[in-house]
Amino acid sequence: MDKEKDITIMHINDSHGYMEEHWEHFWDGGYGKYIRAGGYGRIKSYIDQIRREKNENVLLFDGGDTFHGTYPVVKSKGKILTPLLNDFKIDAMTAHWEFAYGPEGFNNILKSLNYPMLAINCYNKKTDELAYDPYVVKEVNGVKIGIIGIASNIVDKTMPEHFSKGLYFTLGNEELPHYIDKIRNEEKVDIVIVLSHLGYPQEIKLAKEVDGIDILLSGHTHNRSYEPVEINNTILFQSGCHGSFIGQLDLKIKNGEITEYKHELVILDESIENDIEMEKKINKLLESDREYLNQVVGRTNTDLNRSTVLESTMDNFLLKSLIDLTGAELAFSNGWRYGAPIIKGDIKMNDLWNIIPVNPPVSLVKLTGQEVWDMMEENLERTFANNPYNQMGGYVKRSMGLNLYFKIENPYGQRIQRIFIQGNPIDKDRIYDVVYVTNQGVPEKYGHDKKKLDIHAIDALEKYLKRHGTVNAEIKGSIVAI
C-alpha cells in the first residue's frame, strides 16, 4: 500500500490586474461593508508561507481574467504583470479577457511567462488545430497530477471581433472526456484537475456530465466558494475576484485517490502582511502613473460597486454620465462584473479607470421600442438561461431611462412582463434615442443611425464630475425580478 501523501492546491481566478490593495465588498447581514483586501504583495506573502508550511508540496493555478482590468495593465497590454506573476511560481493558467489584446498580443505575453496556458477548446480557424497545449502533467510529493485547461467559450461569441481573430472556441465538454482518458491511460496520472473559465453554472453542469474529474477549479463568474461542492465525485470551487481571495485545498492522497480534503477561501485582508520585495517591484512599475491616477476628480455620496446582478450603483454613475453628456432617453452598457468598489468620499482618476478600463468611445443609436424589448429578452436569456451552457456574458445589461419587470423562471422570449421608458409604457413602434458603450451595450444587429462620438467613456465620467462635483447613484429599480 502506498503511504498517504499530502498535497495543497492553491487557486486564483479573475484577479483583473489588481496589483495593489483595494476596497472589496462583503455582505454583512442586511447591509454591505467594505474592507481593504488583495494585492500581489499579500498574494506572494501567503503563497510563500503555505509553501514553507507544506514543504513545497503545492500547486498554484490561475483561472484567467488576469491580464486586464486596471489602467497600468491595459496601458501596457498586460506586459507589466509578467515579471510579478513569474515570481508566484504558477503551474498553469487558462484565459478569457487575456484575448482583449488579440491572440497575437496575448501570445506576446505568454512568451514572457514561466508557466503554460492551457485550453482544450481554442482552435486555429485555418488548421482546426489547438492553439494552446491542452494539458500539463506535474509530479508533487510522488503523486502524478494532470491539469486540463478550458478557456472561456464566449470569446468569439459576445466579445469584440479582434479578441478572437484567427481563432474559434468550443464549450470543451465534448473534448474533455478524450483528454481525461488520455492523461489517465497514457500519462498514468493519479489525479485529474480541470482548470476552467466557463463560469460556475456551466462548470456544475460539466461536472455532472463528465466522469473522471477529481477537482474542478472554476472561474469567470466571481463566485466566492466558502465551501466546495461535490458533484459526480468531483470537488468544485471558485475563488472570488480582484486578487482578494485564494482558494486553498489541502488533500490527502493514497493509492491514486483523494481520501480526505479540507478547503478554505482565504480572504487576503489586512491580517496578511505584504511581501516587501513584491511591494518594491510594484511601486517601481507604477511610479510613472502615480501622480495621474491619484488625482481627485470628484466625490460620491453613494458606495459604488458591481456586486448586484440586475443593477449596480457603479454602472448607474456611468450611465448617468452618458445621458448627461448626450441628453439621450436611454443608456446601456455591458453587465461587467469586475471593478473594485469606490466607497463614499473622494473619487480618484484611478477609480474611473477601474470602472471602465477598456475606455470605449461613447456611441449613439436609434432603437425602436420593439428592438429594446428584443435586445433585453436576449440579454436576460444570456444571463439566466435554463441550460447553463447557453449563459453567455456577465450580469444583466446595465440600463438607465427604463423600468423593466421580468420573470427569471420563464423561458426565452417570455420573461419580460412590462417595460416603461421615461415613466411611460414602451411604444414598440416608436424610435428612441439611445446612448451606449461597447457592442455588448447595444449589439451590432440592433438599431440604425449608429454613430461613435469623438469622446470616450472616461471623458464622459470626468465631464459629469466637473459639472456636478458629486455622484448620487443609488439603485433605482431599473431592472426588477417579479
pLDDT (tens digit per residue) in 176-229: 999 999 999 999 999 999 999 999 999 999 999 999 999 999 999 999 999 999
Residue 7 backbone dihedrals phi, psi, to 5 degrees = -140, 145
pLDDT in tens, 217-262: 999 999 999 999 999 999 999 999 999 999 999 999 999 999 999 9
Q: Is the pLDDT of residue 1 over 80?
A: no
**What are the structural domain ranges in the chain?**
5-285, 295-481
Match domain 295-481 to its CATH number in 3.90.780.10, 3.40.50.410, 3.30.930.10, 3.40.50.620.
3.90.780.10
Tell me what pLDDT residue 393 has.
81
pLDDT in tens, 384-410: 999 999 999 899 999 999 999 999 999
**How far lies 273's CA from each of 29, 137, 247, 336, 419, in Å?**
28, 33, 18, 30, 50
What's the chain's average pLDDT? 97
Query: Is CATH 3.20.20.120 what the domain over 5-285 is classified as, yes or no?
Result: no
Mean pLDDT of 95-122: 98
Give 72's pLDDT tier (boundaries 50, 70, 90).
very high
